Amino acid sequence: MTYLVTGGAGFIGANFVKYLLKKHADIQLIVLDDLTYAGNLGTIKDDLKDSRCVFVKGNITDPTVVQAIFDQYPIDFVVNFAAESHVDRSIENPQVFLETNILGTQNLLETAKRNWTTGKDENGYPTYKKGVKYLQVSTDEVYGSLGETGYFTETTPLDPRSPYSASKTGADLIVKAYGETYKMPINITRCSNNYGPYHFPEKLIPLIIKNILEGKSLPVYGDGTNVRDWLYVEDHCKAIDTVLLTGRIGEVYNVGGHNEKKNIDIVKLTISTMKRLFDEQPAYKKALKKSGDDLSWLSENLIIYVKDRLGHDQRYAIDPEKITDELGWYPETKFEDGIVKTIRWYLENQDWVEEVTSGDYQKYYEAMYGNR
């Protein structure tokens, strides 16, 4: 099978590339990524040494770039991770979110349709090359925000509330439209918050780890009671692989592991876990930018409550029953293990953090959080 993996130099896309190379011997991966601030070739440098994986730098909105890939490779699957993914940035600058997330998706769909079409059926619908599929990697944020109870199912009405989630919803709708209007073989997966290695430190968990290592304050939006439903990134990758290979054509699958946490609890847990790891394995202290053996400063006193995110969604919670019952997917990594694995990874991979934050990161941080 030949996969076009867009956004494969970003957090989940790169984890997916690693997952596929480990899981399937007989595959060819074409990674298309424009290497925005969030994409980093270093993340997949070892994977690119594998002859089964090649990289193309380019924008998913560019028809020439995408067509050239279809000209060169017999693409069976398109898996679209490429996106502007950060809610806070979408509040500051929505336009690029609409361009990449909606127009980019439509360009991928149109190019795939053109290249996969083999003819027409008796009703005028296109017919397609056998076994091909387009999978859109979407998010639970398209469902909006929950109160204290209830879960998002695949039939929950779409109700996006941020420019980011509105753009992801727009993308989902155009994917569905290609599925209905042209009978194109598509799936959409809607996953909850991921965490794990290679997560860009603008997002909550890696930002908190980075700030602790630098002895900085830990910014919590609003009162910290907002709830996110966390899933270890490899479990998300397994879900996408499962849907790609066995998902019913045209279906949406929610992905989540029933692991709701308040933001403030995530921050407190990160503090206590890092403290414990420094005690158990003093060599980890090398990752600290603040020197000295006295770690009494590493406490909940670092937490500061900052201005809330505009339109901040209160709670997300996924009901994953459909993917579990139909396709047998289940999450393998318990949060208590995953968070320790993730923190250890950051402690052991500070070079990666420095590499990805060497560009405009500092400017972004100061604009977002001031000089704290």
Q: Which residues are marked as active site? A: 140-141, 164
Residue 332 CA to residue 140 CA, distance in Å, equals: 20
Q: Which amino acid is at 144?
A: G
Check if the beta carbon of residue 140 is closer than 8 Å to that of residue 161.
no
Give the binding range for ligand DAU (CB under 6 A) out of 135-143, 269-277, 291-299, 339-347: 135-143
Q: Which pairs from 239-242 meet CB under 8 Å and 24+ separation?
A: 239/189, 239/191, 239/323, 239/329, 240/16, 240/79, 240/135, 240/137, 240/189, 241/16, 241/19, 241/20, 241/23, 242/323, 242/327, 242/328, 242/329
Residue with smaller CB distance to ligand NAD, 12 or 53: 12
Residue-wise burial string across 87-126, b where 16 or more C-beta atoms lie within 10 A, e elsewhere: bebbbeebeebbebbbbbbbbbbbbbbebbbeeeeeeeeb
Give which of ligand NAD, ligand DAU, none residue 163 binds (C-beta under 5 to 8 Å, depending on kind). Answer: none
Q: Decide if residue 219 touches ligand DAU (CB under 6 A).
A: yes
Q: Decide if residue 221 touches ligand DAU (CB under 6 A).
A: yes
User: What would the DSSP string read from start to end of 80-112?
Assistant: E--S---HHHHHH--HHHIIIIIIIHHHHHHHH
**Least Å from the CB of residue 163 to ligand DAU:** 12
**Least Å from the CB of residue 128 to ligand DAU:** 29
Give which of ligand DAU, ligand NAD, none residue 200 binds (C-beta under 5 to 8 Å, depending on kind). Answer: ligand NAD
Give which of ligand NAD, ligand DAU, none residue 259 binds (C-beta under 5 to 8 Å, depending on kind). Answer: none
Residue 313 CA to residue 308 CA, distance in Å, equals: 11
Both tokens of residue 39?
Answer: 């994409």
**Least Å from the CB of residue 115 to ligand DAU:** 29
Q: Decide if residue 100 touches ligand DAU (CB under 6 A).
A: no
Residue with smaller CB distance to ligand DAU, 60 or 132: 60
Residue with smaller CB distance to ligand DAU, 204 or 339: 204
Q: Which amino acid is at 278?
A: F
Residue with smaller CB distance to ligand NAD, 116 or 316: 316
Check if the beta carbon of residue 152 is closer than 8 Å to that of residue 140.
yes
Q: Are strands 53-57 and 126-128 parallel, antiparallel or unpaired?
A: unpaired
Residue with smaller CB distance to ligand DAU, 87 or 287: 87
Check if the beta carbon of residue 168 is closer than 8 Å to that of residue 160.
yes
Q: How many residues touch ligand DAU (CB under 6 A)?
A: 19
Q: Decide if residue 203 touches ligand DAU (CB under 6 A).
A: yes
Which helix (DSSP H) or strand (DSSP E) does residue 260 occupy?
Answer: strand 260-262
**Least Å from the CB of residue 256 to ligand NAD:** 10
Give the binding range for ligand DAU (CB under 6 A) out of 128-136, 218-226, 238-246, 285-293: 218-226
Residue 7 CA to residue 59 CA, distance in Å, equals: 10
| The only residue of 19, 178, 316, 365 in contact with ligand DAU, by rule CB under 6 A | 316
Q: In what order do the strands lie in the sheet with 260-262?
A: 193-195, 227-232, 260-262
**Least Å from the CB of residue 37 to ligand NAD:** 8
Q: Decide if residue 207 touches ligand DAU (CB under 6 A).
A: yes
Q: Decide if residue 226 touches ligand DAU (CB under 6 A).
A: yes
| The only residue of 47, 76, 141, 235 in contact with ligand DAU, by rule CB under 6 A | 141
Instruction: Determine phi and psi for 2, rounding to 5 degrees.
Output: -115, 125
Rounded CA Rg of the chain: 21
Positions touching ligand NAD (CB under 6 A) are 6-7, 9-13, 33-36, 38-39, 59-61, 81-85, 100, 104, 137, 139, 168, 191, 193-194, 200
Site for ligand DAU in 243-272 (CB under 6 A): 263
Site residues for ligand DAU per CB under 6 A: 85-87, 139-141, 192-193, 203-204, 207, 219-221, 226, 228, 263, 309, 316
